[in-house]
């Protein structure tokens, strides 16, 4: 495990414990996602946070002013702490670790589904039920579309990839045929 992921996991565990004590687990996740989306989608914000000529206090105060209405003090404190320690680049890793920690404690997992065409709510629900029964967890599904799959879908839950795409099946068939002709 890389040092970066170990650090992110420590911050995530501490954030989750605070959020759980205050009953703000889901809200904390949403607030962290909001801040990360703003930072990652805006080059000016990233430049501001990493600029060495801007004081830490100015950076923290600007964040509080910008997100004070949308984010709780525990989320703002975490972001401020990351800035103080020069780890503002770890925000996305902290969110990923937070989702993992929260999922482990709450019996929940996120399934990232890539399909040939968009899935409707009924299909997402069926998929969540099927993988939920398989893993013994409640599953949240996010769907994105990739027409290169040719059909079917791929499901990533944690570090496990379930490839039910037509493209994946054709690749496996090709490998099997090549192995049998050697």
CA distance 161 to 35: 28
Q: What is the pLDDT of residue 2?
A: 59
In this prediction, residues 149-171 reach a mean pLDDT of 85
H/E element, 153: strand 153-157
Given a cut of 70, whether residue 108 has pLDDT beyond it is yes
Q: What is the pLDDT of residue 14?
A: 92
Annotated domain spans of the chain? 3-103, 108-180
Q: What is the pLDDT of residue 149?
A: 79
Here the tokens at position 74 are 């525990």
Mean pLDDT, the chain, rounded, equals: 87
Torsion sign across C-alpha atoms 133, 162, 107, 74: negative
Torsion sign across C-alpha atoms 88, 92, 97, 103: positive
In this prediction, residues 4-23 reach a mean pLDDT of 88
pLDDT band, residue 4 (cuts 50/70/90): low
Q: What percent of the chain has pLDDT over 70?
A: 97
> Among residues 50, 138, 52, 139, which one has the least CA distance to residue 91?
50
Here the tokens at position 49 are 């946070």
CA distance 147 to 100: 29
Q: What is the pLDDT of residue 172?
A: 85
pLDDT digits over 51-79, tens only? 889 888 898 888 888 888 888 889 999 98
**Backbone angles phi and psi of 62, in degrees to 5:** -65, -40
Specify the fold of 3-103. Peroxidase; domain 1 (1.10.520)
pLDDT digits over 75-103, tens only? 999 988 988 888 888 888 999 888 888 88
Q: What is the pLDDT of residue 67?
A: 87
SS3 label, residue 158? coil
> Among residues 35, 134, 136, which one has the least CA distance to residue 79?
35
Q: Rounded to two decimals, what is the model's pTM?
A: 0.72
Could you say which architecture CATH assigns to the domain 108-180? 3-Layer(aba) Sandwich (3.40)
Query: What separation, in Å, do the N-terminal and C-terminal C-alpha atoms of the chain show?
Result: 38
SS3 label, residue 138? strand
């Amino acid at each position: 495990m890389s040092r970066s992921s170990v650090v992110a996991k420590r911050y995530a565990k501490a954030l989750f414990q605070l959020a759980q004590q205050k009953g703000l687990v889901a809200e904390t996740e949403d607030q962290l996602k909001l801040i990360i989306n703003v930072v990652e989608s805006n080059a000016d914000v990233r430049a501001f946070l990493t600029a060495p000529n801007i004081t830490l206090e100015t950076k923290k105060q600007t964040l509080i002013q910008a997100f004070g209405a949308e984010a709780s003090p525990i989320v703002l404190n975490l972001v401020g702490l990351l800035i103080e320690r020069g780890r503002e680049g770890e925000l996305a890793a902290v969110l990923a670790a937070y989702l993992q920690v929260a999922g482990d404690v709450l019996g929940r997992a996120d399934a990232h589904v890539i399909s040939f065409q968009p899935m409707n709510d009924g299909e997402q629900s069926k998929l969540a039920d099927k993988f939920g029964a398989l893993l013994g967890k409640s599953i949240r599904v996010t769907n994105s579309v990739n027409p290169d799959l040719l059909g079917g879908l791929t499901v990533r839950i944690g570090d496990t990839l379930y490839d039910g795409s037509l493209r994946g099946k054709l690749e496996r068939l090709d490998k099997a045929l090549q192995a049998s002709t050697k």
